[in-house]
């Protein structure tokens, strides 16, 4: 939870045909996302830890705090494995 992920260079958040995706146009990589994943990706700036991102989203959506505590680390792990985020 102390990991401070940051976006990998070249990835950008786009909406294509109604779908939210993280796109790396040079390497032709597309990572499909949803609104929550896009919000998490935008909060990954290399300065905030996973725990801080959980806290930010938990404060913004207190009714979903327990779900957020599970979803944020899982989403970050998926984005790391797909190359859209880097461990910082």
| pLDDT tens, position by position, 5-57 | 999 999 999 998 888 999 998 998 889 999 999 999 999 999 999 999 999 99
Q: Which domain holds residue 14?
A: 6-86
Residue 18 placed within a domain: yes
51 vs 19: CA distance, rounded Å: 28
Q: Please tell me the predicted confidence (pLDDT) of residue 88.
A: 77
Residue 26 placed within a domain: yes
Q: Please tell me the predicted confidence (pLDDT) of residue 16.
A: 82
Q: Please tell me the predicted confidence (pLDDT) of residue 54.
A: 98
* 51: CATH: 1.10.10.1150
Q: Please tell me the predicted confidence (pLDDT) of residue 76.
A: 96
Return the sign of the alpha-carbon dihedral for residues 39, 70, 19, 35: negative
Q: Please tell me the predicted confidence (pLDDT) of residue 56.
A: 97
Residue 1 placed within a domain: no
6 vs 46: CA distance, rounded Å: 4
């Amino acid at each position: 939870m102390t990991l401070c992920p940051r976006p990998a260079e070249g990835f950008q958040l786009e909406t294509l045909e109604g779908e939210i995706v993280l796109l790396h146009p040079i390497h032709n990589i597309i990572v499909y996302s949803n609104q929550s994943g896009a919000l998490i990706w935008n909060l990954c700036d290399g300065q905030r830890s996973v725990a801080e991102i959980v806290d930010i989203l938990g404060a913004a959506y207190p009714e979903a705090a327990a779900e957020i505590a599970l979803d944020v680390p899982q989403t970050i792990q998926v984005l790391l494995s797909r190359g859209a985020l880097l461990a910082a």
